[in-house]
């Protein structure tokens, strides 16, 4: 997202924090497809993803005032809420979180439909470029952890490494991505 669209989402979140229903409706329209994609990829069922998405927006409505632009972009903050809610739902329902499919091509094939705006497309290109800067195994690990919802323990088993090593690698990889995206 460009600074302008990010600023627009920040404004919508601020207005939502003041219980502005119109702003919340615009926020929903602008972000629901992306958040639905996150829920659907983790829960693997549309009905469960739709239910999860409702819970996500209830939480966004209730916690919009907690958003801090200094810590994350608006879409990253909302995506984290969606991911965490979907993972909680998957665990509560004992849904097997997708943990197979070692090839990045499989992950890429399951991405949501093409992005609608050029601004989002440019942001995605930057992210993909930064992801390609990671070592192959680190890139796969980041995608499995943050896109597929794989636990650190499952990653440790998959990569035949201690859980602490996986946590360190993920932390360093995310720091590298953050630095690349900020450049």
H helices of the chain, where? Answer: 3-17, 21-43, 46-63, 74-92, 104-109, 118-132, 136-146, 152-159, 163-182
Are residues 14 and 91 located together in one domain of the fold?
yes
Are residues 92 and 3 located together in one domain of the fold?
yes
In a domain, 110, yes or no: no
In a domain, 62, yes or no: yes
CB 59 within 8 A of CB 81: yes
Average pLDDT on 147-152 reads 80
The residue with greater pLDDT, 117 or 54, is 54
What is the domain-level CATH number for residue 154?
Answer: 1.10.10.10
User: Is the per-residue pLDDT at 100 higher than 50?
Assistant: no
Are residues 14 and 83 located together in one domain of the fold?
yes
In a domain, 48, yes or no: yes
Average pLDDT on 65-79 reads 89
pLDDT of residue 43: 84
User: Is the per-residue pLDDT at 68 higher than 80?
Assistant: yes
User: Is the per-residue pLDDT at 149 higher than 80?
Assistant: no
User: Is the per-residue pLDDT at 129 higher than 70?
Assistant: yes
The residue with greater pLDDT, 138 or 93, is 138
> Which residues, other chains included, contact 118 with Cβ-Cβ below 8 Å and sequence gap of 6+?
none
In a domain, 105, yes or no: no
Are residues 12 and 93 located together in one domain of the fold?
yes
Of 35, 68, 98, the domain-final residue? 98
Average pLDDT on 46-51 reads 90
pLDDT of residue 25: 94
In a domain, 109, yes or no: no
Structural domain of residue 165, as residue ranges? Answer: 119-183
pTM of the model: 0.53
Are residues 171 and 131 located together in one domain of the fold?
yes
Average pLDDT across the chain, whole number: 82
pLDDT of residue 1: 43
Cα 16 from Cα 3, distance rounded (Å):
20
Count of structural domains within the chain = 2
């Amino acid at each position: 997202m460009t600074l302008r669209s990010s600023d627009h989402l920040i404004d919508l979140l601020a207005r939502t924090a003041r219980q502005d229903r119109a702003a919340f409706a615009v926020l929903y329209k602008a972000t629901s497809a992306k958040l639905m994609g996150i829920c659907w990829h983790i829960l693997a069922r549309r009905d469960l993803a739709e239910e999860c998405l409702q819970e996500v927006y209830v939480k966004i409505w209730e916690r919009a005032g907690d958003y801090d632009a200094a810590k994350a972009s608006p879409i990253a903050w909302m995506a984290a809420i969606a991911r965490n809610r979907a993972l909680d739902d998957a665990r509560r329902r004992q849904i097997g979180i997708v943990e197979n499919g070692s090839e990045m091509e499989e992950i890429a094939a399951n991405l949501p439909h093409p992005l609608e705006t050029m601004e989002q497309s440019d942001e995605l290109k930057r992210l993909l470029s930064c992801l390609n800067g990671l070592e192959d195994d680190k890139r796969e690990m980041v995608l499995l952890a943050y896109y597929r919802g794989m636990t650190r323990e499952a990653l440790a088993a998959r990569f035949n490494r201690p859980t602490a090593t996986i946590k360190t690698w993920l932390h360093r990889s995310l720091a590298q991505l953050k630095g690349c995206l900020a450049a």
